[in-house]
Structure 1
């Protein structure tokens, strides 16, 4: 392990802030046996620390060292689960809402900005997290070409950030759905008095016809086995020539499954799509009119969330224990490192509805 880490400029118990400090000698056996799951759980248990964990992860991923520490059998198990089972079925759809998004509105109010947007901000002309989130929401509205009086469906509405801004500033009506009871409660509160309806449901149950569609940070929960039904649902919901703006985290490679630690502790049943997988899913239903990648902005967003979370911890610790603090710190910082290394991307796609879905077996003339 030491020799592999050295290739990335990392030294075990070294002097740099990105060097991991090992407190329990059993860490090494755990890392070899359980891969990234064991490494992450050892961090939660206090077996090791790293001042700049985000930078350490960035170096590990940039040097592709994760191939040596993933833990072959743990990864194979998750690959097989993704291949053999529909981990994002209707019956399992609410699991991530209950485990992650219902963790507590106090936590998310403290960590996020006033928009309560829980997705990548757009930092091009922003200097604060709030400015970056407002810029992201407005960018999506402009890409969707929202016009006053139009109807918009939002697949995965979170705490209502887009719905509130779009209804208030663009004069549209918004139907948003979420799988989190906590998100719906706060979204209803924030959007009171606006032409916004928030429903607690799975996207596969949506009905109606809308001028535009938006999905922000939800496609990561769909899973490869459901990409076709997701896209066909969006196609069905849109009026002819309707525009669909899809905002999603993306992987730099096509793969099945997800990191075992993230699956267990943060986003159960998640799956990060590659651009190739997104394009293939879109092809029968939509024309891709624009693809915008601003992945490095997610690094900055995640670090801003960590700073807010860390600063608010004295007020939060009455409701969350020290293990939660270490788990949440690990989550935010390893994700920041992944975007910093460019292993993860942030894609915004502008899609226009095909009038008639193409057959998957069509051939060019």
Structure 2
């Protein structure tokens, strides 16, 4: 979940991924994304998800992902928006399952605040996907090696 990495660590994360791939390896990433035009303000602002769901993390923008991929010598061969409508339905189902099992969750020692936080998260994100404010992308591609590296291996 790239959302846990955080804006300031994306370069290091992608560089680490590149360094652990075999020469013919393929890097596949699924990412919930923030729109490019909102990204700069988003990373500077506090928010519910940053505080309660992904502390220290952030939703990357698609431009940020492509930029750090290129910096880490990862070439994007395929990019697909995997349908926010389906993620909307998934989040609604997760919320319904949470509420259907509320008593059992409380019996495990979790409190009402825990239930409210996760119910809000599921509804909040479902609305983000329904309105296409949030994207859900799969990115994949092979590692890029310069000619010198190919010859020397």
TM surpasses 0.5 = yes
Residue 293 (structure 1) aligns with: 81
Q: 1:332 aligns with which of 119, 122, 135?
A: 122
Q: Does 1:311 align with 2:100?
A: yes
Structure-2 change in CA distance of 1:259 and 1:304 (3 Å)? farther
Aligned length: 139
Question: Helix, strand or coil: the match of 1:272?
Answer: coil
Q: How does 1:61-76 map to 2 (within 5 A)?
A: none
2-side partners of 1:259 and 1:297: how far apart?
28
2-side partners of 1:236 and 1:315: how far apart?
44
Q: 1:282 aligns with which of 26, 49, 69?
A: 69
TM-score with structure 2 setting the length: 0.84
Q: How does 1:26-175 map to 2 (within 5 A)?
A: none
1-side partners of 2:5 and 2:19: how far apart?
17
Contact 1:245 1:349 in 2 (8 A): yes
1-side partners of 2:66 and 2:121: how far apart?
28
Residue 223 (structure 1) aligns with: 6
2-side partners of 1:348 and 1:234: how far apart?
16
TM-score with structure 1 setting the length: 0.37
Query: How far is the alpha carbon of 1:324 from its aligned partner?
Result: 2.0
* Deviation digits for residues 75-115 of structure 1 (CA, Å, limit 9, x no counterpart): xxxxxxxxxxxxxxxxxxxxxxxxxxxxxxxxxxxxxxxxx
Q: Which runs of 5+ in 2 are unaligned?
A: 147-153
Q: How does 1:239-258 map to 2 (within 5 A)?
A: 239-253=22-36, 254-255=39-40, 256-257=43-44
Q: Does 1:341 align with 2:131?
A: yes
Q: Which has the higher contact order (CA 8 A, sep 6+)?
A: 2
Residue 261 (structure 1) aligns with: 48
Residue 3 (structure 1) aligns with: none
Contact 1:243 1:351 in 2 (8 A): yes
Structure-2 change in CA distance of 1:352 and 1:258 (3 Å)? farther
Q: How does 1:197-212 map to 2 (within 5 A)?
A: none
Query: Whose Rg is larger?
Result: 1
Question: Helix, strand or coil: the match of 1:240?
Answer: coil
Q: Which runs of 5+ in 1 are unaligned?
A: 1-217, 357-365
